[in-house]
Chain A
């Protein structure tokens, strides 16, 4: 056997052929070294992608689609995403005196949700506030999840001094009540009106719980045989953490992503309502603030001014909760185990998950 053979075996897609030693290449059975042939049949790149697609895209989506909660949740969230992206293009920005002051909702199609006391269209206020809200939600949720997972993952995996230091920091953040801290920071730091920065600020103290949970999960995971094996063959630590451990925590992380998103909405609206965050444009919280200052809570004819932003806030959180719950059902083995015994639930989730685990095992 020459080095030529090994080269051929490695380049599985396009074997370069030299006419003379065809026999050396043709049969894999006559190899002399056990390292020459690894698998009975080659896996092309496309096969691999298809398996990955099956495991991470197709199976979860088909499981989710069979759950009514997930369907509603996805629809609501998608609706808000559309409102945030396409909405502002279709709906004009609210301007003063485009309609009569305090027009009631569902009476005129020019302002379907009514107007405020300066005659600004409330529907347009809601729609045009969405992009900014979505930016805050995205940056805040990503910040929580990234910091929480990184800190918790390193603390749990490294142990020793790193764990002591990181856990102490985590505990401090768990103990501090988030809202007053955010309030004080919002007032004293020069943050301006950038929604991405505001999103991060709102979550600056709320990653502690996630970090602690991730740490304890990593502590369990690192005892698993496959992690020990990876360590034994000398895979570098960052690679083990990010390629082996974090993927196992993904379901948990995804659920926390929706919770963090909900928290951002609640806190942002509250801070805008209190008038602590600086603002240029109207948004749900600012509308609440204006309505309250104008006494909409005791003026029956202004009630809709108060209700519209509230509905906008509650509706998207319903969507996020349903989404988080259905993801929990998909990923939570305890819920699955319980439902294995009942007859009605056995049909879909188990089936879908069967393929999921099989494919992962096959990889």
Chain B
């Protein structure tokens, strides 16, 4: 085991996860009692569609052929998914891949900003809390962080929507881009996008509360360590100590919680995009659930999972660059 490079193992694990999720979606659609495939065939037949034609339609939409035995249908399905064919949406009558591909950048836009801003705030606040530990600032900020941690992001989203959008009219109440402005690389459009994305990004900032508490704990631990005393005895400047000795060591363990946040935020995008009617991945996933549009729903589910898995893979592979001690190990070693 140990002889195999961890990067290869990590890659194998990613492939395994994607395979597991795809298989799960196949099992749910094809094998479960009362499964969507059977339901779709029956529904079409009831609408008076010729049984042969109905089965063809279902195959087109779900990329699973109802006539074939399960093992063959399964292999076909996997091949289809791998080649990017997720079937055809019933409600939108468009290929699932196409719908999701145009929604994806919007979700990534909101999520990446939420992640970076909330972790930046969390790290700075946590470091300050640790620096003034026990003081008024620390107590105040700790209480604030606890409160932030207790508020689900969607509750904050409601509050922002009610007060900043409906009451004060500072931000648009729904949508993802300004209407009547040509899409493209022009200032009004970019400004409009940022304007629409502000409230969703702000709602996700609740994550900064938990992050700041984690950072505070790490910093306090580093502050109590022996090498820091030695560094002070050596007469190193305060700047060197705080940036090279404290900040670096305290931030590194935050990486793991950063990784976990990626998955949680992707999941959270479903509720958030519903609240703000922001047409991203989560919005279409939810719309598909309401419409019982199974191809779009399963496609959205598979795609969100793949996106998260890839994000985690990239983050893990680059971890060695951030932490030289990890050399040949990934974030698991923490």
Contacts and interface: CB of A to CB of B under 8 A. Distances in A.
Report whether chain A binds chain B: yes
A273 B267 contact: no
Interface string A325-363: 100000000110110011010000000000000000000
A306 B263 contact: no
Interface string A173-198: 01111111101110111100000000
Nearest to A315: B150
Interface residues of A, number: 52
A175 B315 CA distance: 12
Contact of B36 (A172, A188, A298): A188
Contacts of B250: none
Contacts of A164: 1
A249 interface: no
A306 B155 CA distance: 10
Interface in B12-49: 13-14, 16-17, 20-21, 25, 28-29, 32-36
Interface in A48-87: none
B158 interface: yes
B291 to A, nearest CB: 12
Interface in B184-220: 217, 220
A176 B305 contact: yes
A331 to B, nearest CB: 13
A306 B161 CA distance: 12
B62 to A, nearest CB: 13
Contacts of B158: 288, 292, 297, 306, 310
Residue of B20, B36, B298 most packed against chain A (CB within 10 A): B20
Contact of B151 (A176, A179, A314): A314
A337 B309 contact: no
Contacts of B217: 335
Contacts, number: 134
Contact of B268 (A179, A184, A269): A179
Interface string A294-328: 00011000010010001001110110111001000
A13 interface: no
Given A276-B289, A314-B151, A180 B267 contact: yes
A118 interface: no
A220 interface: no
Contacts of B113: none
A209 interface: yes
B152 interface: yes
A171 B16 CA distance: 10
Interface in B294-310: 297-298, 300-301, 304-305, 308-309
A189 B33 CA distance: 9
A185 B27 CA distance: 11
A337 B224 contact: yes
Choose among B13, B14, B33, B263 the residue with the greatest number of A CB atoms under 10 Å from its CB. B263
Contacts of A321: 146, 149-150
Contacts of B159: 310
Contacts of B231: none
B150 A177 contact: no
Contacts of A270: 152, 154, 271
Contact of B152 (A168, A266, A292): A266
B73 interface: no
Given A177-B304, A184-B298, A321-B146, A190 B34 contact: yes
B232 interface: no
B243 to A, nearest CB: 22
Contacts of B249: none
B85 interface: no
B301 A318 contact: no
A325 B217 CA distance: 11
Nearest to A171: B13
B285 interface: yes
A53 B166 CA distance: 57
Contacts of A187: 289, 297
A178 B150 contact: no
B17 A172 contact: yes
Contact of B270 (A266, A274, A313, A320): A274
B152 A175 contact: no
Contacts of B297: 184, 187
A171 B13 CA distance: 8
A109 B128 CA distance: 46
A185 B33 CA distance: 13
Q: Among the interface residues A164, A177, A318, A337, which one has the most CB atoms of the partner chain B within 10 A?
A: A177
Nearest to B18: A175
B209 to A, nearest CB: 9
Contacts of A337: 224
Contacts of A335: 217, 220
B11 interface: no
B314 to A, nearest CB: 13
Given A175-B309, A185-B28, 7 more contacts: A172-B16, A179-B270, A180-B305, A184-B25, A187-B289, A262-B150, A306-B158
5 contacts: A175-B263, A181-B301, A181-B305, A298-B162, A317-B151
Interface of B: 1, 13-14, 16-17, 20-21, 25, 28-29, 32-36, 134, 146-147, 149-152, 154-155, 158-159, 161-162, 166, 173, 217, 220-221, 223-224, 260, 263-264, 266-268, 270-271, 274, 282, 285-286, 289-290, 297-298, 300-301, 304-305, 308-309, 312, 332
4 residue pairs, one from A and one from B, having the closest CB atoms: A179-B267, A317-B150, A318-B150, A177-B267
